Amino acid sequence: MTQTWITVLGATGSIGVSTLDVIARHPGRYAIHALTGFSRMTELLAQCLQHKPLFAVVAAASQVEPLQRQLSQAGCKTEVLFGEAALQQVVVDPQVDVVMAAIVGAAGLRPTLAAVEAGKRVLLANKEALVMSGALFMRAVRASGAVLLPIDSEHNAIFQCMPGDYTRGLKQVGVRRILLTASGGPFRDFSADQLQHVTPEQACAHPNWSMGQKISVDSASMMNKGLELIEACWLFDARPDQIEVVVHPQSVVHSLVDYLDGSVLAQLGNPDMRTPIAHALAWPERIDSGVSALDLLAVGQLDFRRPDDALFPCLGLARQAAEVGGTACTLLNAANEVAVAAFLERRIGFTDIPVIIESTLNSVSSESVEDLEHILRADQLAREQARRWLAQH
């Protein structure tokens, strides 16, 4: 079997670590072209020593020499590069077959788009790339012939439940709606008063999933589900009103597709990101992910309920941005990133997050998307507006 060469963007994050775990289970099938990391240099060093990529990419020039020296002393021939140009280099290289796009936030947009434009198989874990630049991104997918496979457990589940020709349009293939499941996060049973006093530690303690800080806070506010709703619109060419969010505390049913004939197809599994990663890595084949088999008898019951839009307004704000279109989703994402960072730094309360986002959306007008630079300008304007709010309160 010919080896598949992979670049992992965001190798030291939770998705990157899970990706390398799956890859390690299939020696000889996969080879690592490049691993990239932002600040966790000890973890990146260990990953390079184990997986021996051709390249490691770090954020700053000052990180290159120490990492290169440690690798050389250990007899590892990995070459260390740095910066945004290097990120793009290791995704467009002709040797690369697959790019795992797992850099969190807006920082992952440029290299992910470069991978798409190069016609790679892109495993999309960076939902912000589609949220910020959906129209531009999907045009690039169609123009280049890239294969785009979703890694979010919900979108991967939808992909598995869709007919193969879903790109013809949902109505044309008999799909009535998409049911996007949400765990509800750690605060799903909290009152409005309790939400006023939650801490970053509580927000990051997700009951079902092991995730990074930013995505954990997004899950707690339900903004993560809002971003996923926007992502699903682009991935499956769906209108916002064709997607319904359903709170499912057990996180066993990862999403469902409702058909016109009354059938509802669901994808189930234990809450472990290695399942969608393995699915996308080997698609259309199936390979071992290391995830244990689902025991429905042990689960016992599956619960579903409507989300509380009053308690978690971020979900409604995301749906509104999806309906407005243009740069509205870019503005939403940028304001949310600023607000979440401020919450993690204890500069604002948890319930201030949607206030900052709504203020930003009301202060910066949405415009039609022209090109990547236009999107990045909108992103910057929203960040500046959100920071003004912080400075004034």
**276 lies in a domain?**
no
pLDDT for position 388: 97
pLDDT band at 209 (very low <50, low <70, confident <90, very high): low
Report which of residues 121 and 371 the model is more confident about: 121
Please report, as a single letter, which amino acid is at residue 235.
L
Backbone angles phi, psi at 249, to 5 degrees: -60, -30
Mean predicted lDDT score pLDDT of the chain: 94
Burial classification of residue 122, based on how many CB atoms lie within 10 Å of its CB (0-12 exposed, 13-18 middle, 19 or more buried): buried
How far apart CA 24 and CA 101 sit, in angstroms, is 18
Residues 117 and 63 in one domain: yes
Residues 337 and 224 in one domain: no
The residue from 261, 281, 316 where one domain ends is: 316
Which of 174-183, 322-331, 368-377 is predicted least confidently? Answer: 368-377
pLDDT for position 356: 98
Residues 312 and 210 in one domain: yes
When pLDDT is averaged across residues 37-52 and rounded to a whole number, the result is 95
**134 lies in a domain?**
yes
Residues 47 and 78 in one domain: yes
Residues 111 and 178 in one domain: no
**277 lies in a domain?**
no
pLDDT for position 355: 97
Q: Which two tokens stand for residue 357?
A: 């986002």
Which of 103-107, 140-144, 198-202 is predicted least confidently? Answer: 103-107
Residues 207 and 81 in one domain: no
Burial classification of residue 27, based on how many CB atoms lie within 10 Å of its CB (0-12 exposed, 13-18 middle, 19 or more buried): exposed
pLDDT band at 244 (very low <50, low <70, confident <90, very high): very high
| Cβ–Cβ < 8 Å for 185, 217 | no
Q: Cα separations (Å) of 141 from 9, 135, 198, 293, 371?
A: 18, 10, 41, 34, 15
Instruction: Kindly tell me if the per-residue pLDDT of 146 is higher than 80.
Output: yes
The residue from 150, 181, 198 where one domain ends is: 150
When pLDDT is averaged across residues 16-22 and rounded to a whole number, the result is 97
**32 lies in a domain?**
yes
Q: Which two tokens stand for residue 358?
A: 């709504």
pLDDT for position 23: 97
Q: Which two tokens stand for residue 47?
A: 């990953």
Give me the number of domains the chain comprises: 3
Residues 200 and 97 in one domain: no
Residues 108 and 135 in one domain: yes
Residues 52 and 102 in one domain: yes
The residue from 259, 282, 316 where one domain ends is: 316
Segment 339-346 long-range contacts (CB within 8 Å, at least 24 positions apart): 339/386, 340/214, 340/217, 340/218, 340/221, 340/223, 341/214, 342/390, 343/200, 343/203, 343/217, 344/200, 344/213, 344/214, 344/217, 346/200
pLDDT for position 145: 95
Instruction: Kindly tell me if the per-residue pLDDT of 210 is higher than 70.
Output: no
In tens, the pLDDT along 213-231 reads: 888 999 999 999 999 999 9
**132 lies in a domain?**
yes
pLDDT for position 291: 97
Range of the domain at 71: 4-150
| DSSP state letter for 292 | P
Q: Cα separations (Å) of 144 from 117, 118, 245, 257, 303?
A: 6, 7, 32, 28, 42
Residues 8 and 106 in one domain: yes
Residues 142 and 253 in one domain: no
How far apart CA 140 and CA 279 sit, in angstroms, is 23
CATH of the domain at 350: 1.10.1740.10
**281 lies in a domain?**
no
How far apart CA 3 and CA 8 sit, in angstroms, is 16
**207 lies in a domain?**
yes
pLDDT for position 213: 87
**58 lies in a domain?**
yes
Give the pTM: 0.92
Instruction: Kindly tell me if the per-residue pLDDT of 197 is higher than 90.
Output: yes
CATH of the domain at 90: 3.40.50.720
Residues 44 and 71 in one domain: yes
Which of 16-30, 77-91, 316-330, 368-382 is predicted least confidently? Answer: 368-382
